[in-house]
Structure 1
Amino acid sequence: MTTDLHTANIELLPAAGAPRQLMLLLHGVGANAANLLPLGRVLRAHFPQAAVISLQGYEPFDGMPHDGSARQWFSIRGDVEAQRPARVAAVLPRLVADIRAHQERLGVGEAATALVGFSQGTILSLEAVAARDGLAGRVLAFSGRYASLPAQAPKLTTLHFFHGGADPVIPVRHAKEAMQHLAQLEGSDATLDIAEGIGHELDAALLDCALHRLTHHIPMRTWQAALGGVAAAASPGGDDTLQ
């Protein structure tokens, strides 16, 4: 494990060899990179050749008194509902640049990158791929929501929503509304898992769902590429391999 002392990111790198996947973890408001380290260790146990990086929120938390370790991606003071989209838009360029810098440094492409967010970290993850389709191959969206529902579905990113049915902070209706909205958009590829009776937390049941989605869900774009290969093979002069 290595820690970037400048940003306080926490990195879990493969014991040997180059990373094959990149998983970037974004914590919730009032937390910090260390809070998602247990999740990172679970992911590394299942994907030993993955580089797992828990990112540190860019700003000190400006909420209730704390010991100084709490961070945030954007402020939740004032009229959050009205100001959330603008606050997210303000931080997105820095986040996108950091994601691309990690990809370039570690030699991992966008399709092999997953953004794993919790709460406010989920908001940033969803909005990042809404603004830059294909920035990551997957988003694991725990207990979060969109800042504003997208006009288009990402065609190069699979979205996996995980939510507690009794979440009092970000109610599960936001995840359901997102799924209903995405279902009406062309090219959407999204799943939703709900753990009934669970609140605003990274519950073990939801983590099991996430691991199942990562290992069993074949992205729609992969199916479409395969079907395209079949169509090409069936035509004169077509490629006889599946892409």
Structure 2
Amino acid sequence: MTEALDPQPADLLFVLLPDGGLAPDGPDTLAPLAAALQAQYPQAMALQLRPPLRDAEGRCRWWAGEAPSPDGLAAALPPLVERLRLEAARLELPWQRVALAGVGDGALLALEAVQAEPALAGRVLAFAGGYLSRPGHAPQEVCVHLLHGLADQRFPYRHVVDAAQALVALGADVTADLLPHLDHGLHPALIAKAMEQLRTFIPARLWREAVIAAQESERPVG
């Protein structure tokens, strides 16, 4: 489902990836996130993708089986990357103005996509999910926002903390917000924190560029 947040040309693209295990004809679990993005970015476009596979009970899956695996992820990534490239080209947007927002399995898919594919998206909002394995390198010029509930039993928060520490050590732009009393899911408090991070977080790259520009301006002439 594609939802234009404004009829004028889009200046941002948010690609929304739902969790796995949902009924294909069930409620739109990402509607609150899309509404928050619409309120904050009226000139953006939101593209919600559906998991392409169905399990034996008819529930949507990003990969075969309930649990993610290296093989399942390897099969799921190429069509996602291709779709993102096509949509960015269609909207004539550079990759830096594409953002991925995923919940649960969708968060894992978004995080691993920017790890595997350079120059794919400029930001990732990962709700209630994390990496398949501890990241071994920083994604190229990507701001990663990890948003998690401390009571999440499906994806324990300690994995999010470990990934955030690894990314910081690798020099990545990353934030990790762990909110108490929240279980697995896309909670309003996590959405509000995500909107705050989108408004206020300044990538380290921009800080470095600002420092270099200030130093250049202070150098004596002649």
Does the pair score TM above 0.5? yes
2:128 counterpart (128, 143, 150): 143
- The CA RMSD over aligned residues, in Å, is 1.8
Aligned partner of 1:57: which letter? P
Q: What is residue 20 of structure 2 aligned with on the other side?
A: 29
Moved more, 160-169 or 102-111: 102-111
Q: Which residue identity is paired with 1:133?
A: P
**Shift, 1:204, TM fit:** 1.1
* Unaligned stretches of 5+ residues in structure 2: none
Cα offset, 1:236, TM superposition: 6.8
The yes-or-no answer on 1:154 pairing with 2:148 is no
Structure 1 unmatched ranges of 5 or more:
1-9, 238-243
- After superposition, what is the alpha-carbon deviation per residue over 1:209-243, rounded to whole angstroms, capped at 9, x for unaligned? 00000001111122122223233434578xxxxxx
| Cα deviations by residue, 1:16-54 (Å, 9 ceiling, x for unpaired) | 310011100001112259321232122112111000111
Query: d(CA) in 1 for partners of 2:98 and 2:43?
Result: 12
- Higher RCO (CA-CA < 8 Å; seq separation 6+): 2
Find the counterpart in structure 1 of residue 203 from structure 2: 219
Matched residue, 2:154 = 169
Tell me the matched-pair count.
218
Contact 2:118 2:139 in 1 (8 A): yes
The question of whether the paired residues in 2 share the 8 Å contact of 1:85 and 1:148 is answered with: no
Secondary structure of the equivalent of 2:76? helix
Counterpart residue type for residue 93 of structure 1: P
Cα deviation, 1:150-176, whole Å, max 9, x if unaligned, reads 221113101000001000111111111
- Does 2:193 match 1:209? yes
| Aligned mates of 2:84, 2:146 — CA distance in 1 | 21
Q: Tell whether 2:175 aligns with 1:191.
A: yes
- Alignment partners' CA distance in 2, 1:231 and 1:86: 48
- Once residues 103 and 5 of structure 2 are traced to their aligned partners in structure 1, the CA distance between those partners, rounded to angstroms, is 24
For residue 25 of structure 1, give the secondary structure of its aligned residue in structure 2.
strand
Contact 2:6 2:44 survives alignment (8 Å): no
Q: Deviations over 1:90-147 (max 9, x none)?
A: 2211111111111111122211111000000011100110012331111000010101
Tell me how far apart the structure 1 counterparts of residues 190 and 50 of structure 2 sit (CA, whole Å).
23
| Residues 18 and 30, structure 2, Cα contact 8 Å, conserved in 1 | yes
CA–CA distance in 1 between the matches of 2:213 and 2:71? 42
The amino acid that maps onto 2:164 is: M
TM (norm. structure 2) is 0.91
1:75 aligns with 2:64: yes
SS across alignment from 1:34: coil
CA distance in 2 between counterparts of 1:14 and 1:54 reads 12
- Residues 6, 45 of structure 2: 8 Å contact kept: no
Q: What TM-score does the superposition give when structure 1 sets the normalisation length?
A: 0.84
